[in-house]
Structure 1
């Protein structure tokens, strides 16, 4: 073993805890009629939005609560599944049908989703890493790269 200590891998809560937490968050949002559970991003803190998708196979509507940050008129989020390996269903659905609606504090907006790439991906990843110093270590827990999803306002729907 070398003299340099290897940084400890970050520890995630058990999968059942992550799934229960998000189920409770969605329930709070639903029961409160959207009054509780959403928030705007602030310096040092990401926001919370509800994203609506249509199932790529079923055609059924789905909604998920996600952390996000703003980049001018765009919003962006990480396509991760509680840092589990599979690509989240909501991102698979958006890749099939990128038109979506997001619920934010103050109302809903129609958006179009796309993956960030190249310099944009690096820049937005660095913004997320400012909030989570373990971001790169968590990302290494996955066998595949974590997509960064950019949500662009549909023309005529910008705030």
Structure 2
């Protein structure tokens, strides 16, 4: 009689393990980059992985700026930067422009020298700012989003 009571829990254990035969696979993308010793422009910290928020101040009726830093170095020559598109934030049909400033210089659609050859060779940390440009009629309520697309280049002096 005692053997019968032991057989029931044993059968329940083996039946339970038959149900655990299902599997679930997960994949995690992992990336890494090692900049060249000759030329790099990298954010200071991991802030580029997260959306950067312009905070609206209701009393002033304007946005605070996004202020971050980049570190840069080039043993090739001066470092230039430009915007690949005019940055703006959009909410439905409403939008407003953004001004982008790096190393104290406003970026536009044509290259601007951020660091001369001596500064670039030594390497430095540059301030980076995104500033909302208030439209003539003021800001229209909404949830805005957009992108700032920049390009950095370094070439030997006398090159393009």
**TM-score bin (small chain):** under 0.3
TM-score by length of 2: 0.23
Greater RCO, CA 8 A, separation 6+: 2
TM-score by length of 1: 0.23
More helix by share: 1
More strand by share: 2
Larger gyration radius, structure 1 or structure 2? 2
